Amino acid sequence: MSGPSVSPFELRVTDEQIADVRARLDRTRWPDQLPGVGWDYGTDLAALVELCRYWKDDFDWSRFQDRANAHPQLVTEIDGQRVHAIHARSPEPGARPLLLTHGWPGSVAEFWEVVGPLTDPARHGGDPADAFHVVVPSLPGYGFSGPTTATGWDVPRVAAAFLRLMTILGYDRFFAQGGDWGSRVSVTLAGLTPERVAALHLNLLPVSAPDRANPTAGLDADDLALVAANKQLNRHETAYQRIQSTKPQTLAYGLADSPAGLAGWILEKFHGWSHLDAKGEIQISQDRLLDNISIYWLTGTINSSTRLYYESVGPGRFAPLPPLAVPLGHTVFPGEPFRPPRAWAEAAYPTLCHWSQAARGGHFAALEEPGLFTDEVRTFFRTQRIRPA
């Protein structure tokens, strides 16, 4: 790590902040809900009321702070923007650098439980040869990176900032892994600078039909079912994306003022995109859900986080992904709602060399199934080497 522009970071939650969120939760004016509709109209009222009750009465802020500070962190300034990152170096001499990138409505909290096993596998029952130096940035505008203060923070600009971050930290060549926005950032980074990114693993593949005029050509029955599911998804599960890519400021007034409103907006996505149990319930604990929601609340970044949609896929702003020339691995987690047919993936990514199916987990794979996620990352990158640029 070099340069005076890098400073250590630790989260400190004040008594005033805790009192404020509790008071706001206590004054929540709840809406009605039709009987028997569950999650069909959006976030289920009973589920949100219980989560907010737990947040107000039982959430342990001290333990949350300890979880946030469990790994070394830093802040720096890149392209005029504050950038926060976990930077956990491995004790193993042969460890390889690995950049992990989250998405929306996630945060670095998704990766808190995998940093230890990835950096020090021997201590967690693994092979020391699988060790990584782990870097987990908060996307600009998200969490501890704080709000963005200028327009133009789209995916290519984020990718450039993360490339600069890895340079500051002394990593000329590194591996990258991502899901959600982290997938697009990672593909952009690897596509534009293959001399820096040695290989790439994704738990979400940004893919569209190779033949728009005849998208189902050559697909088998299983792939056709995926295409139908994706159409259903676009019809019923993308309202958040439409408003965040067109009018994020309007949405932010309610979410920035009400912790219950913020929790409701984020909880819907965790319910809709996670691998649910047999009863249709989220398998992520209330504490882990609130770790993530609390980061958004404390940092006041819900507005700037949604601006990434406006900047990247808003009116006239869509930038196609660059061609990928580095080895690509992909793990399909069964609860991930955005699953393209493998034939589409192979057409879009000729360097796709690893495809696996996980037994459990969904969109927030590292948070939902940290053990499986760690195994998948190790398995793919075990076959890859970082060679001099």
Catalytic site positions:
180, 309, 363
Question: Apex CA 154: angle with CA 274 and CA 237, to 5°?
Answer: 30
Q: In the Cβ-directed half-sphere of 358, how many Cα atoms lie within 13 Å?
A: 31
Q: Phi then psi for 176, rounded to 5 degrees?
A: -135, 145
Core vs surface per residue 135-174: b (16+ CB within 10 A) or e: bbbbbbbbbbbbbbeeeebbbbbbbbbbbebbebbebebb
* List of residues 6+ apart from 183 with CB closer than 8 A: 103, 202, 203, 204, 205, 206
Rg (CA), the chain: 20
Amino acid at the residue 126: G
Closest C-alpha to 139, from 379, 9, 302: 302
